[in-house]
Structure formats: C-alpha cells, structure tokens
Amino acid sequence: MKILIADKLSDNAVKALENMGASVRLEPDAAAGDLPQLMNDAEILIVRSTKVNKAAMDAASSLSLIIRAGAGVNTIDLEYASALGIHVANCPGKNADAVAELTIGHMIALDRNIVDNSIDLRNGVWNKKGYSKARGLKGRTLGILGLGSIGTKVAAVAQVMGMNVQAWSRSLTEQKAKTMGLGFCPTPMDLARSSDIVSIHLAASNDTRHLVDRSFLEAMKESAFLINTSRGEIVDSAALMEICSSKSLKIALDVYEDEPGASEKTFPHTELAQLITGTHHIGASTQQAADAIADEVVKIVESYRSSGKPLHPVNARDKSTAQFNLVVRHFNKVGVLAAVLDALRNADINIEEMENSIFSGGEAAVCTLKLDDRPSDVILNEISSMDNIIKASLK
C-alpha cells in the first residue's frame, strides 16, 4: 500500500501508517501543480489544503482513495474522482472545536476592536478613550447559518456567554431548535434581518455559493457583525466590499474567495483586508485539531485496508437505483459466485452492489446482489441449479 501525503500530517500518524505496512512518501510543501509529478504509483493520497484536480488524478493510475485531512472537500474535484472510481473521504467534526474557538475569538475581537488596539499600540498611539467604547456580547443576538458540528459548538459557547442564539439550517426544524434552546429562523433572510451578529458555518456547494449576497448584506442590521470561518465562496466578496463600509458592518473573515494555497506567500485581496479583521484560513490549525484529524486519517486507511471501504465517504451514491435484490445462499467454494456473475452478465443484468457474508465455521455464505433488472425465472432456475448453490431467491 503506497501512500502520498501532500501536506503536513503528524509524525505519530505517519508512524501508524508505516506500522500497517504502508510505504509512505511525505511531500508537505506540495502545491496543486506539483501533484501530477509526485503521484507516481500512489494508491492513497492524503491532503489538507492542497487542491486535487483532474491532472493529478490522470497522473495516478493506481490511485483509489483521496483523504481530505479535514472536513470540507471543495478543494477536490469530486465529480472527476467519482467518474474514475476513486473514493474520497474526509474527517468530519474533528476540527469543530478549533474552528468554534476561532469564531468566538473573532466575535470578541470585533466587539472590542482588538486588532486596531494592537496596531495603534505598536505604532506608539495611546487611545484608551476611543477604544473603551464597546457594546459587549452578553444579551446580543447571534444568528448561526448552518448548524452542523461547528455551528452547534459555537451556539453552545455563545449561550454560556449569555447571548441569545438563533439559527437557520436546512435540517433544522422549529421543534429541534426549541429542544436546543435556540431561536428558529425559517430562512437565511429572516436570520439576516434579526441578528446582531451572523456567523457562517456551511459547507461549500452550488446551493451555498454566494448565499450571503448583496440582498442578504443589505438586510443585515446597521453595524452588525459578519463572521465567516467556513468557506470563502459562501460570501459574495464583491458585494461585501461595496456594502460593508456604507452600512458600517464589522467583518471578520478566516476564508476568502479564490484564496491563495497554503504554500503561496501573497494575499491578492488587499483592499478587502483593509476593511476587515482577517486571519489566514487557520480555523482548524490547532494542535488538538491536528491530532484528532491525524488519528481519523489513520482510521480511514485502516478501514479501507481491511474492508475496501473508507470511513466517511463523500462521493458514494446516497441510495442505489437497483430495484431487485438477489439473495444467493451458497457453499463457500471457489468459483461459485463467478458462475452467478456470468449468468447475470449473459442476461445483460448489471450488479449495482454486492455483499457476501460468511457464516461461522466457514462452510456456507450468503451473497446479496442489488440488480438493475429482474432476472427471469429461467435465469433464477439456472442459478439455483448450479453446483454449490443452496438457494437463490428474489427479495
């Protein structure tokens, strides 16, 4: 098993992978353009921020699994990976504490003008009177867009701080919000209008791209806060540039549209940087999160090695379109299932999914095949009469 790690991963995780018998190659400073030359015969690719595109996958004939050592997978061409039969897996929830901590930090920094405080002090300016003006967070209304693992943690911390918390999420119902002690917003626009602070915790997708657009920003309260520690594509940065000054919105961003890669040194959005409190996409960058993610990467590889299926697959089809289940009880002998597959192939029936379970003692097994068409009675009889078949039936 040959593994390419094209990003930083803990030494303990590398040792654990090597202890499995894997051949591990480390390229922690690799950029997207370097991958095609690095893939060689890699079977598993592990990345954090490095983008994985078509060129990288085309250069890796042995590649069968890409692991995103983090939650979001917008840096990986999922559609192309699926077309090539390459599994993509991630590590959901393992960086939730770290991102939630940074979100709360940004919230406090905006309220107390911590960045401008520090800049003035470093320039020899003392302005205690000016910086003593802050509204405070207790009693203010925090609106959370996206109530996954990170949004839920932010909500819990904010509640402890005495804030009123409300949320919108596609999966959130009014009853569930009530159970969690949260206000329920039927739409993102309802949340924009009624929140003193908006914090974004959504995955990047076609549905969420520019969800926070001009109309959303215009609906926000005067002098409200907007914090984004999720994905840059969710906020229309052009609209943000135009509106944040005129409405006196206070903005904190850890992510940006078209942001540089981890190995790049120049930030292109200098005009935007002058208007915000910003960090360098470091939400998940704590030792605690790195250790948790590294441990999960090892578990994903272990699962894939033992079962052929990774934990947390993100590009597997949610539900099979197969309409027929063929259940074949058989003796555990060489070639039994091959004969069954030949019969189905000759009948032009495709197998969507297949699972074979061995009974204790190892003498018998049962195989379930999900089929895209119904086998005729003739085919069923043919399979049932094969050597070492106990019974074949449709369910």
Closest CA to 343 of 371, 321, 322: 371
- By three-state DSSP, how is residue 217 classified? helix
| Residue 382 a catalytic site member | no
| Residue 355 a catalytic site member | no
> DSSP string covering 137-187, please?
STTPEEEEE--SHHHHHHHHHHHHTT-EEEEE-TT--HHHHHHTT-EE-SS
User: Active site residue: 106, 140, 201, 259, which one?
Assistant: 259
Beta strands in the chain (DSSP E): 2-5, 23-26, 44-47, 65-68, 87-89, 141-145, 164-168, 183-184, 197-200, 225-228, 250-253, 277-278, 324-331, 351-358, 364-371, 389-394
- By three-state DSSP, how is residue 67 classified? strand
Distance between CA atoms of 205 and 24, rounded to whole angstroms? 32
Strands 364-371 and 351-358: antiparallel
Q: Which residues of 40-49 are buried (b: 16+ CB within 10 A; e: fewer)?
A: eebbbbbbbb
User: Active site residue: 48, 201, 281, 330, which one?
Assistant: 281
User: Active site residue: 231, 269, 312, 330, which one?
Assistant: 231
| Residue 231 a catalytic site member | yes
What are the residue numbers of the active site? 231, 259, 281
